[in-house]
Amino acid sequence: MVLQARRQKLVDSECGCGGGRHASVAPSVAVMTAAGTSKVEARRRAREATRRANEARAAREKANIENAANYMVAKARLAEIDAWEAERLAAVIEQVRAEATKRRAGTRAAAGAAIRLLRQSGETLTTIAELTGDGLGEVRAMLRHAPKIEKRTARKGSHALGGFGVVGPSEGTGGGATDNPEAASA
């Protein structure tokens, strides 16, 4: 009997399948909206809220695109500045190195000339090394940088008065008559 009662319930569509004597009927529950609001009005409000959200999202995306473009332009400028800096540093370094090389050559020539003067006064390289506190190799290296002295040579050609074949010291030696002892005694 219980089984038959259950079957009767299923036939009478109490399970909600719509297969009984009664046709399926939508529940007659009132829609829970604000007073005086219809479905059409609710849809209009939903569309308006969606439109505002889409506009806000589009504005954010537009601002993001602009900011990303500004970032990429700034990064490109940084690369240009780095290249400019490298070029300028290379040029300045080249100038500084050329100036330093020139200054070193002049200073080494002065050191060599001083060693030559010590040698001309009768000092040996060993005593000059002891006097200066440098090694013998350093003294010899500096002596190699001393300005060259032109030696007396006989001229080929005329032996007229005043043409004794004497070639004076060059102007770059800095020693003048002291570099050439014979010229000092004349």
- Residue pLDDT, tens place only, 27-45: 555 555 556 679 999 999 9
Residue 39: predicted pLDDT? 92
Which 8-state DSSP code applies to residue 36?
Answer: T
Residue 63 structural domain: 38-145
pLDDT band at 10 (very low <50, low <70, confident <90, very high): low
pLDDT band at 6 (very low <50, low <70, confident <90, very high): low
b (16+ CB within 10 A) / e for 16-48 = eeeebeeeeeeeeeeeeeeeeeeeeeeeeeeee
Residue 150: predicted pLDDT? 75
How far, in Å, CA of 78 to CA of 159, rounded? 74
How far, in Å, CA of 54 to CA of 43, rounded? 16
Residue 75 lies in a domain: yes
**Residue 102 pLDDT greater than 70, yes or no:** yes
pLDDT, mean over the chain: 78
Percent of the chain at pLDDT > 90 equals 58
pLDDT band at 168 (very low <50, low <70, confident <90, very high): very low
Q: Tokens standing for 139?
A: 């003294």
How far, in Å, CA of 143 to CA of 114, rounded? 8
pTM (predicted TM-score): 0.43
Residue 125: predicted pLDDT? 93
Which 8-state DSSP code applies to residue 177?
Answer: G
Question: How many distinct structural domains can be found in the chain?
Answer: 1
Out of 14-28, 49-63, 82-96, 166-180, pick the least confident.
166-180
- Report whether 167 contacts 150 (CB < 8 A): yes
Between 174 and 84, name the one with better pLDDT. 84
**Position 117, amino acid:** L
Residue 63 lies in a domain: yes
Residue 52 lies in a domain: yes
List of residues 6+ apart from 150 with CB closer than 8 A: 167, 168, 169, 170
Residue 11 lies in a domain: no
Angle (CA) 147 153 154, round 5°: 160
Neighbours of 141 (CB within 10 A): 15
First to last CA, the chain: 158
Residue 178 lies in a domain: no
Out of 64-73, 122-131, 142-151, pick the least confident.
142-151
**Residue 171 pLDDT greater than 50, yes or no:** no
